[in-house]
């Protein structure tokens, strides 16, 4: 199996001082937090693309979910578990989970995260 690491970095640390999502995790920037676990937080996206659009973010800093999967697979499982909980709590448990990895995929914040989209009939792609 070929694993693309073109846009991933080895940057794995508890907190990156220049990272927006690290600042949100630390409570330095306010957001509408909807759920938390020991390893991840969930907050509403500032530019929602669906009635429920929540970002689920691991507390530790990894550049993207590819790096997270390599460094801490349990933390990635925890992200998906919290996403599932959010979709049940805020919608009907049906959701789309999107993880952008790299600028070509549309990633703009380089701290691993999953988008939970729910609350409506989502268009196919």
**Among 61, 62, 111, 113, the one annotated catalytic:** 113
Nearest Cα neighbor of 26 from 15, 37, 12, 39 is: 15
Contact 41, 21 (CB under 8 A): no
Q: Is 113 among the catalytic positions? A: yes
For ligand AMP, the closer CB: 47 or 123: 47
Per CB under 6 A, residues contacting ligand AMP are 20, 31, 45-47, 55, 100, 106-109
E strands, the chain, where?
A: 12-13, 33-36, 40-44, 52-58, 61-62, 95-98, 114-118
For ligand AMP, the closer CB: 15 or 109: 109
Q: Tokens 């805020």 identify what position?
A: 90
SS3 96: strand
Least Å from the CB of residue 46 to ligand AMP? 4
Least Å from the CB of residue 60 to ligand AMP? 17
Least Å from the CB of residue 8 to ligand AMP? 14
For ligand AMP, the closer CB: 1 or 17: 17
Which residues are designated catalytic?
113
């Amino acid at each position: 199996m070929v694993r693309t690491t073109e846009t991933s970095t080895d940057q794995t640390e508890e907190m990156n001082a220049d990272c927006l999502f690290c600042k949100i995790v630390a409570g330095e920037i306010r957001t509408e937090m909807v759920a938390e676990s020991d390893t991840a937080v969930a907050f509403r996206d500032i530019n929602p693309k669906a009635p429920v659009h929540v970002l689920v973010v691991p507390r530790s800093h990894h550049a993207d979910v590819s790096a997270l999967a390599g460094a801490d697979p349990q933390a990635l499982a925890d992200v998906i578990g919290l996403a599932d909980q959010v979709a049940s709590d805020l919608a009907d448990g049906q959701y789309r989970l999107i993880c952008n990895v790299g600028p070509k995929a549309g990633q703009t914040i380089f701290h691993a995260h999953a988008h939970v989209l729910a609350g409506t009939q989502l268009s196919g792609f």
